Structure 1
């Protein structure tokens, strides 16, 4: 009976799906962001309603604006001012379902960074993706203030259910992972992050991580440090557990001047990166295998 049980467990384990890490191409320069208004592209996110469009924003101290960028050339298509918002230290941007309209697509902007040593303001602005990409203003659908006992966060990601995953930036790279459930964006009160875990990446010599993104289907995560891009497969969308217990795979990366931004394309067929600075290239890494 024991032998039969062991054989059954062995056969069962062999029948479980085995996911091999995908292979991505070397970075292809698809265009330069030469517009003088974009000087510190700190975050990057792919539009879900406009083909080959990326959203980006400047780091600390800029006005409260984001830019729509042509992913095939780097040309700025629109400057979008966010009303009733302030850029203390915008660090990352993501696209996902809207909090109170799951059939619509929203842009999540994280004012989550610390540039003065006194902590971040901890605000997330949520605006609906515009149907037309022309210069103009966007009103936040939600402005969520959260409380969390970390000073600096440069990674803001949104899963397919509208839950927000944050990862703090610390020297050595072993930051904290926190989650804000989608339901919190329907409330006017401050959300207290208490459910956290510790990021499982090899120790670094920098203040890391600096950006990340969840794939459109929710099953893959990219996380960027100053020297590396890490990849996780997360089939059950339990990101706090996966990113704290599973060892990531290193994927293709270009050493950029001050690279902080990474974003999946809208279909999950590859990812983009770019760097802070003037006239910086956009790199695209195409998936070569599943």
Structure 2
């Protein structure tokens, strides 16, 4: 993931490796002026709800999905272990959920988890969580991994669940990505790359077996206005009914309404609508509410704010 670097603020030990790496990639003398410019951009004034309570364990939120019972599943990005968090809409921590990651990634079990989604899986009428270990700043990973985790029905403060992994290769070589979505109509995983002027849209079937290695299909491309890091695609979600799509850059939330069961890549060819968005310091998480009438955004950082926005009438 890209990191805005301002000053020399101390960081948690669990994140130190990532920070050192990214300071080399994005010197503060370049990034700080850009961030200052962003701060002066006009933020949206249409948020419905603002909550300022985020658990201390979550200082690097990079993905968000909201369950059918309005529980938030979130996660940190690189530097954390193989776990996700369940919290309520006020930011109260409900559970820390651990799973077995990749044993070849020593200590942590994951490399760079960047987004999370929910959708169907192998058991009919059961909901699954899909965690995307898909970040690749240097674009040199031979494959990325998505973990499928059954959504718990009961919670304890700390718990372990058994999931399964699929290893994904890009048809055109390694890509950096921070956007993972589940299409409930085509039953596919969708990954959108991050950095190119026209980013790639890649897909793989949800019908996979544990530890399969699959080469994804490139469905098409997506061009959004802007230059450089200001147009980096950092999050996205598809509504539960499969009819609405939101894609987020660091500065803008874009919205599309699907026509019937057309491929998502076809939907994303049309000109999107810009949705309300209050500029965040490091906003990399977005998700629809289960009824598809609103969406939430959460930033990285301690004491991050949870924003809720109403969607326009269809």
Indicate whether the TM-score tops 0.5: yes
Q: Aligned match of 1:65 in 83, 89, 97? A: 83
Instruction: Single out whichever of 220-229 and 30-39 deviates more from structure 2.
Output: 30-39
1:124 and 2:146 matched: yes
The aligned counterpart of 1:175 is 199
The CA deviation at 1:70 is: 0.5
Residues 275 and 193 of structure 1, relative CA distance in 2, 3 Å threshold: same
User: Could you give the per-residue CA deviations for residues 222-241 of structure 1, whole angstroms, max 9, x where no partner exists?
Assistant: 00001100001112241122
The CA deviation at 1:74 is: 1.0
TM-score where L is the length of structure 2: 0.78
Q: Aligned match of 1:104 in 126, 147, 151? A: 126
The aligned counterpart of 2:94 is 77
User: What CA distance in whole angstroms lies between the structure 2 residues aligned with 1:287 and 1:196?
Assistant: 27
1:272 and 2:290 matched: no
Residues 195 and 248 of structure 1, relative CA distance in 2, 3 Å threshold: same
The CA deviation at 1:117 is: 5.2
User: What CA distance in whole angstroms lies between the structure 2 residues aligned with 1:81 and 1:233?
Assistant: 35
Q: Aligned match of 1:194 in 189, 192, 217? A: 217
The CA deviation at 1:175 is: 0.9
> CA contact under 8 A between 1:93 and 1:108: conserved in structure 2?
yes
1:138 and 2:194 matched: no
> CA contact under 8 A between 2:45 and 2:278: conserved in structure 1?
no
> Which residues of 2 match residues 200-215 of structure 1 at below 5 A?
200-206=223-229, 208-215=232-239
User: What CA distance in whole angstroms lies between the structure 1 residues aligned with 2:72 and 2:262?
Assistant: 24
Structure 2 portions without partners, runs of 5+:
1-43, 103-108
The aligned counterpart of 1:35 is 55
Residues 250 and 257 of structure 1, relative CA distance in 2, 3 Å threshold: same
The CA deviation at 1:69 is: 1.2
1:232 and 2:256 matched: yes
Q: Which has the higher strand share?
A: 1
> CA contact under 8 A between 1:167 and 1:176: conserved in structure 2?
yes
Instruction: Single out whichever of 81-90 and 115-124 deviates more from structure 2.
Output: 115-124
User: What CA distance in whole angstroms lies between the structure 1 residues aligned with 2:77 and 2:245?
Assistant: 23
1:163 and 2:180 matched: no
| Secondary structure, aligned partner of 2:265 | helix
The CA deviation at 1:25 is: 7.8
1:258 and 2:282 matched: yes
> CA contact under 8 A between 1:228 and 1:250: conserved in structure 2?
yes
> Which residues of 2 match residues 217-228 of structure 1 at below 5 A?
217-228=241-252
User: What CA distance in whole angstroms lies between the structure 2 residues aligned with 1:30 and 1:283?
Assistant: 5
User: What CA distance in whole angstroms lies between the structure 2 residues aligned with 1:81 and 1:38?
Assistant: 14
> CA contact under 8 A between 2:204 and 2:217: conserved in structure 1?
no
User: What CA distance in whole angstroms lies between the structure 2 residues aligned with 1:227 and 1:205?
Assistant: 12
